Structure formats: C-alpha cells, structure tokens
Homo-oligomer: A and B are copies of this chain.
C-alpha cells in the first residue's frame, strides 16, 4: 500500500429542495456573486428564476453560455475579467460539470495577475482562489466533489485537465429533481463518464480489498440506476443514487493507497473531444472497451478477472482469459444497451486525423508510464479499433 495525503473538504448538501438553504450558505462569502451557467437549461427547469429570487439581496453578475468542453476563450477569460472588474467575492456555478470546471478556472484566474493559462497548464501554482459554491444539475463528472477541471482551447486543440486543492467547491448542492429533465443521451453519457472515472482507477497495479469493493459497488450501482433513470426519468431514488454514485468519481477516495493510474482513456478521449467537440462520456464509452481489449495480456489479465467476476458476476472457475474477454464484451454491451453510439464514425469522426490525434496524445499525456503503457502506435490502434 502506498502512502497518501488526502482531503476533501467540500460540504455536500443533498436532496429535494435543499437549494432553499442557498442564501444562508452564500452569506458568509460576501455580497458579490459571479453566477455562471450554460446554455439555458437552468432557465427551462425554473432553477435560474429560483436562484435569482433566493439571492435577491445579493449583487449578482452573470456569465452565461458556458459550453460543454468549456472553452478558455471566451468563457474562462470573460469570467476572470468580470471577477476582477467587479471585485467578486464568490462564484456560484449552476449547471453540470462543464460549468463548474470553467468556474474553477475562473476562481483561480481571478486571483492571478498573469495569463490564467499558466495556472491551467500548471506552469504557475495558484496562491489563492475565489471560493466556489455550486448547484449541480447533471450526474456525471463528480466535479462537485473534487478539485479538478478540464478546459479546452480551440486554437491549439488542447484539452487540459488540471487540479489544485484550492479549487474544491466550498459547498455543493445536489438536488436529484434537477436531473429529471436530463435527456436520455446525456443521462447515458453521464453514466459512462462516471463508470470510466472508476475504471481508470480500478485498472492499476495494486489496489486494496476496500478500494476494489468500493469501486465494484459503484460500477454496479451506476449500471442499475442509470437504466432505471432511462426507463423512468422521474424516478427520484434512481436519480438520487446515480447522482451520489457520480459524486465520488474523481476525488481520489477510490484509490487511496493504490499504485495510481495515468487515466489513459481520459487522455485519449480528450483528443477526440478537443478535435471534434464530441460529448466526453460518449467518447469514453466508445474508447473504453477497445482500450481494454488492446491492453489485455498475461500481465493485466488478473485485474480483468476480478472485474468480470465481481462486477458482472462471471463464473470465477472459467479460464482467466475467457473471463476477461467476457467482461470486456459485457462492458461494451452495457454501453450499447443504454443507446450510446459505439463507433467513432457514429459521432462524426473518421480516419483522417487519427494519426495527428494519436501523436498529440502521445506527446502530452504521458501514457508510456501508464499501468499498461501506450505508445503512439498503441493509441492510434485503439482509435482505429473504435472507428
């Protein structure tokens, strides 16, 4: 077991109507709020009006139009500018993980004199950041309970993940009813995203009985509850369980003491969504089973056997390679069964830029150091197998 240093200080306020507590939660942070949100779905579900009404005694500045795969330019830059101009006290992010990831980059940038890109690329270590409160409206990224984010830069095709303990949300509100209107496509993509967060940590050299059991439980819960959400989008318990399942995905609790991982599927998917702006969870679902098949060998088979037996209930007495292949098939079939398009061509990606993307990944993601090391050729092969 490896040494670790771990803390997740975020307060989770979870359940129906908990957002009523917003004024008392916001008050200690100050009067001036930057309210960040996306394309208007929070207006459709009445949450925008609700928040504005609850916060009528505060001074609110709004940054809207934050896109999925949130953009450095204009979103992060605009937000930083607004915070500095109006001397904002706290950021309130209302939306999914993209809005929150963008808000984290703004929170750090607002307290930095230079180009915020320095912080995202971790060239410069942030010294402080604005506090962040969020109301999460999508069960997927787990950004509400971690200190990381992913920002895209269209001029360079970069999609960069960054982490800083300063960027844990102070408080995250999670009301499952806000996810009732999430489309089937986004519900499935959220499930795939959260499952992949867990798989990225599960497939490693050394884990513990506790971590493995936690992750196996979370994977099983996600599969059961996502299906229930798809069958009945207003099933409160299923939406609630799925929301909580997603929350722990990226805060490190699943790999405390483990040997670590390089999150290879995320490394590869970031290229796909940077070059083609596809939905992150869909990209992950397409890549994951192909990555699994590509790295399956005598050295890695043991983890796949554990995964197959404990997550999918495959008979432990079968041949290890047979169990592993059955587990990979089951992974693929599950994603297919929740109507995720399982080929890159289904989401508009063809052969043409595969080698360019593979080079970009190989140059930037350090996947030669992964548990199952990936060269540029491996990455290109996984992309091709995903076509």
Contacts and interface: CB of A to CB of B under 8 A. Distances in A.
Contact of A240 (B1, B8, B11): B1
Chain A to chain B: the 10 pairs with minimum beta-carbon distance, closest first: A213-B217, A3-B15, A209-B221, A7-B11, A1-B240, A9-B9, A210-B221, A6-B12, A208-B241, A5-B13
Contact of A216 (B6, B217, B245): B217
Interface string A186-214: 00000000000000000000001110111
Contacts of A256: 12, 14, 244
A209 B225 contact: yes
B9 A4 contact: no
A9 B12 contact: no
A322 interface: no
Contacts of A244: 1, 208, 210, 256-257
A221 to B, nearest CB: 4
8 contacts: A3-B18, A7-B11, A7-B12, A12-B256, A208-B221, A208-B244, A209-B220, A213-B217
Contacts of A12: 4-7, 256
Interface residues of A, number: 39
Interface string A13-37: 1111010000000000000000000
B7 A3 contact: no
Contacts of A221: 208-210, 213
A241 B1 CA distance: 8
Contacts of A9: 7, 9
A14 B10 contact: no
A176 B257 CA distance: 12
A130 interface: no
Nearest to A18: B3
Nearest to A9: B9
A224 interface: yes
Contacts of A209: 217, 220-221, 224-225, 241
A237 interface: yes
A180 interface: no
Contacts of A5: 11-14, 18
A2 interface: yes
Contact of A217 (B3, B217, B240, B245): B217
A334 interface: no
B7 A10 contact: yes
A39 B345 CA distance: 69
A3 B5 CA distance: 30
Contacts of A218: 210, 213
A128 to B, nearest CB: 15
Contacts of A332: none
A178 to B, nearest CB: 14
Contacts of A212: 217
A136 to B, nearest CB: 15
The interface centre, meaning the residue of A4, A8, A216, A217 with most chain B CB atoms within 10 A of its CB, is A217
A117 interface: no
A11 to B, nearest CB: 4
A236 interface: yes
B8 A8 contact: yes
A32 to B, nearest CB: 25
A220 B213 contact: yes
Contacts of A214: 213-214, 217
Contacts of A16: 3
A2 B225 CA distance: 16
A218 B208 CA distance: 10
